[in-house]
Amino acid sequence: MTPASGRAGLSDPPTLRLLSLGAGVQSTTLALLAVEGALPAPDLAIFADTMSEPRKVYAHLDRLVAVLTDVGIEVVRVSQGDLGADTLSTAGFMRLPAFVQGAGNGAAMLRRQCTERYKLEPIRREIRRRLGARTSATGAVLTPPPGAVAEQWIGFSTDEIGRVKDQRVPYIRNRYPLLELNMSRQNCLAWLRRRGWGDTPKSACTFCPFHGNRQWREMRDHDPAAWADAVEFDRRIRQRTFRGPQEVPFLHRSLLPLDQAPIDQVQRKELRDQQGDLFDLVEHGDPDGCSPYGCRSGGEAA
């Protein structure tokens, strides 16, 4: 697979060129590369807002929007609604890949329900609209005209090449400029630091179950408002009726309330000796994290 793969011919000029802007390290690097002229300016950048990111992500996004707007790159925020509020208000339906009791004494992760609805769907709807699709009587944005295609930039770096996938829709073709530039995540971090963007945060919902212990500790110790929100959210997702332990959700894989979870008690050598690379997963979280384009969805609970 080539970095700019997709269903449309690679030599065909796109009708629209856009950056999928997650406001994290890699997509911020892409945005600023375009600002500097190292990449051609996209027609627009799209940020899919779950309304559940930490405050520092929104502050970073506002700064980035100002820089992009100054050079004529439009930034569009799209949303399917408030993921956190929707999750808490939908009885009996868990939208997140929360942890539940699995086989034996271990934890299992529910299938991810949030990414498709709260990120992919609003992004694709905006792309169809920008490509000239008609709107139905019910307000749905229909399929774009034949031949209309968007080139969508996605910020996968060289350490994430295994996540590259073709689009499932014919009107979008993916492109991965960081792969073309042979840039890893560490390259991106160093590049951002040299330009005064070294505090670029990791983009993820405050209550994302893919957080590892390190991320939970950083939130608790450096962003107490976000930590309080996550602890309260974790408590509230269990204030419903469940048929058994296989349905009782937790944000932490220990199956303990977040403010009681052992996020400080990870011993690298002990875990490596006993369980191989489990340390990396427990401490740093799922390496694929929360990306709309190539994530592990987590296994369905047994």
Condensed to tens digits (0 to 9), the pLDDT of residues 107-137 reads 888 888 888 889 999 999 999 999 998 888 8
30 within domain boundaries: yes
Please determine, for residue 289, whether its predicted confidence score (pLDDT) is greater than 80: no
- Radius of gyration for the alpha carbons in the chain, expressed in angstroms and rounded: 20
Domain assignment present for 5: no
What pLDDT, on the 0 to 100 scale, is given for residue 292?
55
236 within some domain: yes
Q: Is residue 71 part of a domain?
A: yes
- The tens digit of pLDDT for each residue in 3-31 reads 444 333 444 688 999 999 999 999 999 99
**What CATH number is given to the structural domain containing 258?**
3.40.50
Q: Is the pLDDT of residue 247 over 90?
A: no
Return the HEC string of 9-28: CCCCCCCEEEEECCCCHHHH
63: left (phi over 0), alpha (psi -120 to 50) or beta: alpha
CA distance 201 to 217: 15
Indicate the range of 80-89, 123-132, 171-180, 262-271 predicted with least confidence: 262-271
Range of the domain at 135: 16-284
Domain membership flag for residue 65: yes
Does the residue 4 lie in any domain? no
Bridge partners (DSSP) of residue 44 are 18, 74
Domain presence at residue 294: no
The side-by-side arrangement of strands in the sheet containing 172-175 is: 74-78, 44-48, 16-20, 150-153, 172-175
What mean pLDDT comes out for the span 141-148? 90
Mean pLDDT on 242-267: 83
Q: Is residue 291 part of a domain?
A: no
CA distance 242 to 52: 25
Kindly tell me the burial class for residue 276, based on how many C-beta atoms sit within 10 Å of its own C-beta (0-12, 13-18, 19 or more): exposed
Distance CA 158, CA 180 (A): 9
User: Is the C-alpha dihedral spanning 291, 121, 142, 20 positive or negative?
Assistant: negative
Residue 285 pLDDT class (50, 70, 90 cuts): low
Instruction: Count up the domains in the chain and report the number.
Output: 1
